[in-house]
Amino acid sequence: MEELDALLRDKVRVLGSQLGGTIERQLGDGMLEQIERIRKQAKLARHGDPKERETLLAMLHDISDDELGPVVRGFNQFLNLANIAEQQHGISWRRSEHLQENVDSMFSELLTRLESSGIRGIDLSQQVADVNIELVLTAHPTEITRRTLIQKYDHIAQLLQRRDDLRDGHPDLANIEQEISLIIDEIWHTDEIRQVRPTAVDEAKWGFAVIENSLWYAIPALLRDLDQELRARGSSALPLTAVPIRFSSWMGGDRDGNPNVTATVTREVLYLARWMAADLFLRDIELLGMQLSMSEASADMRQQYTGREPYRDCLHDLRKGLEDTRRWADACAAGESTKKVPILEREDVIRPLKLCYDSLVDCGMDTIANGMLLDTIRRAACFGMSLVRLDVRQESTRHSDVLQAICEYYGWGDYNGWTEDEKQTFLLRELTSRRPLIPNFWTPSAEVQEVLDTMAVLATPAGDGVSCYIISMASEPSDILAVALLLQACGVKRLLPIVPLFETLSDLEQSGPRMDKLWSLPWYREYSMCRQQVMIGYSDSSKDAGQLAAVWAQYQAQETLSRVAAEQGIKLRLFHGRGGTVGRGGGPAQRAILAQPPGSVTGGLRVTEQGEMIRFKFGLPAVAQRNLKVYVSAVLEANLLPPAHPKDEWREMMSQLAAAGVSSYRAMVKDNPDFVRYFRAATPESELGKLSLGSRPARRRSGGGIETLRAIPWIFAWTQMRLMLPAWLGADDALRVQVDNEQLPRLKEMYSDWPFFRTYIDMLEMVLSKADPAIAQYYEERLVEPELQPIGSVLRERLANMRKLVLAVKEQTMLLENNKALQYSMQVRDPYTDPLHYLQAELLYRERQAADMVSSQVERALMVTMAGIAAGMRNTG
């Protein structure tokens, strides 16, 4: 294998050496030597010699309880430092060519192709401005790293960037490395594991911090970059308030299965977002006040501000309004009343800034106008005074239960027992009734009252910061009409978008006909103004039917919804509920977007960014800027240079593959009576609950099989023991049947010519490269009772067959032949990740044997192994 990029290897070496120095100073050279011996032995064991592996296992078995903590912490922190080095090196101007992955030239090359197709000039600039991308930040519990440590990791990344920018031999290099050493000391003395589970408000504040520290800078930098490239080709400048990308959040609004997200929490988060927006704009205004000291101004400016420094006078008024807003939001978040009149609309921020901008341009001071002032205008256009718009999500039966309770109170009948037509008749009648729906003297259950309280929050000024109301497990038009009725009954006057979420295989298959029925209702067409968002769920459909059947159902649902919307005259925007892993729709953004059905992103793109992927993709301003540019390029290409529609024979092949895949997947996961027992024995699924990952419970309800388990811990657990089962199970049998039927040439053709199928196979390859049957087998040998172990043997055999099938379709001799960057990444990580796997299996064994007598050292070490493996795998849930 080729050597890792020399500069990246040097960064990893420096960070590893500094970590080693920290361990030696804290625990002595004996502990450092022990960790180093384990690392070197793990590297030897990687080559597949059983004797070397047995030697490694013996070394790990001999570790005492007192030594466990330092050993696992050492490996865990190295993996976190390796992540920092990789992330920072990915944006460094000094990285090797083979690690650039074409991101830097992606937009420029796309512009060339667009110009060749006849799209240029003002049309091109307007197309970029109108791509209509919305990224939705969610707090799904896969971000295992504490915020305190994230801030320290970010500081190290900044120091590595400074180190890159200085020439060899610069006198400051030694100071930079000394500062890195200091921060690594701080990291080592900081607890990696959260002792208290974060609240939903804590999660929202973490989301605000991502904006404050990264996206606040990335957005104007992105627009400046796009603008320069467009102008260089003779296109017009982007409009001042162009917003190709916006941000929303589920943090504090996603109450589906999370009893910790209440109306009170949502209200507090909405006001905190207002406070944060005002605070960030105040910081900008403070800097602009120092810059805009000039006195020459346009007639329009002089008409409003007659003083010697009109720009500062204008900014002073804006600053006063923002200070009032901050005080108002602070009081409201605390539940106090205030008479302050705040700035609530983005236009109220943009208007005075635009006045300053136009005046500077009129007076020939374009350079000043297009400096920080333009950046602040663009921030105002993107983030507004709500900073990040909040989605509210609730499960459909919660609304049905409210209506059931109301009907019972009035004696109207059994709402939940009615047919769909009866429900629609009732709902439409009540939507046009002038009589209040909710009784005045009524004491409903706590669950019903909570739904109504949430609706009431949306009727307050804070509710203007809510972007939409999402209904999970939506299945019929009545689910949407029920929410519309309850919003109306609780005083919500604006026509808040209501978004059905189709998650299971059957719901995806029926999504088109059900939306067709809804869009045929005159009342709803007027309510929605013929605009509709529909959310496609990736997590639950994959857990329900297997990844292969799920991706095909998602593809077909998008096609059908797009067609039906066009027929009904509805402007459709699809919302993709993706996760960080392949098992939850994850993967490179560009590939994922271009793999969508042609025409399915014409209304724009809305997509979730979840858990640890937010930090990896948007944690640093330069990293965020690159990833945002990828989104713009991909959506632009999907709309203006869409791929051809798939051939009928390819669609038929996919339908056959999906049918075989879901049958094979469910035969193992749902029909095998011993599978759930094997899963819980072989993986740390039961122990994951000890990690204070997020505010949401891991299960929808206690007991039961995998249907009660959320998709994230389901995937997280399989990743921890390296079988990666959710991403490939079922696809192995489906592909094998077609290869046995001599259909390999057609599969190769589909891989070559169909972006959807190529992306799916490439994602499979990536997951398979991270799977490790030897490690999975060790977990089984250590943790699973003998009568269940045949299940593991079958799964590992199927995994091996899956690898052969992917290689055959891709016509390769080894996995990742064409992905050198990931090869190098895993090459660096394996010697550190492998010992954590073996130690985790050993610690699980000790804990399960000891029951309630487990030592605190063992329990803590076990949690650190989970964090370390998550860092090593990168996309954990």
- How far apart CA 780 and CA 655 sit, in angstroms, is 35
Active site residue 543: yes
3-state secondary structure of 569: coil
Question: Choosing from 11, 205, 543, 770, which is the catalytic residue?
Answer: 543
CA gap 738, 763 in Å, rounded: 20
Which CA distances in Å does 301 have to 311, 364, 372, 730?
Answer: 8, 14, 19, 67
Angle between helices 744-753 and 731-740 (to 10 degrees): 120
Q: Between helices 711-720 and 856-873, what is the axis angle to 10°?
A: 100
Q: Is 170 a catalytic residue?
A: no
CA distance linking residue 485 with residue 490, whole number of Å:
9
- Angle subtended by helix axes 820-850 and 773-783, to nearest 10: 0
Q: Which residues contact 804 (CB under 8 A, 6 or more apart)?
A: none
- Of 564, 548, 574, 550, which Cα lies nearest the Cα of 639? 574
Q: Which amino acid is at 682?
A: A
User: How far is it, in rounded angstroms, from Cα 768 to Cα 747?
Assistant: 19
What does the alpha-carbon distance between residue 836 and residue 834 come to, in Å, rounded to a whole number? 5
C-beta neighbour count of 672 within 10 angstroms: 14
Q: One of 11, 89, 140, 576 is an active-site residue; which one?
A: 140
Distance of alpha carbon 164 from alpha carbon 155, whole angstroms: 14
Let me know: does 723 contact 841? Beta carbons within 8 Å.
no
Burial of 870: CB neighbours in 10 Å, binned 0-12, 13-18, 19+: buried
What is 131-160 written as a DSSP string? --EEEEEE--TT--S-HHHHHHHHHHHHHH
Burial of 819 (0-12, 13-18, 19+ CB in 10 A): middle
Gyration radius from the chain CA atoms: 28
How many beta carbons lie within 10 A of that of residue 737, not counting itself? Answer: 15
CA–CA gap between residue 105 and residue 541 (Å, rounded): 35
d(CA 220, CA 650): 43
* Helix 420-431, helix 477-489: angle, nearest 10: 30
Q: Are 89 and 5 in contact (CB under 8 A)?
A: yes
Cβ–Cβ contacts within 10 Å for residue 135, how many? Answer: 23
Catalytic residues: 140, 543
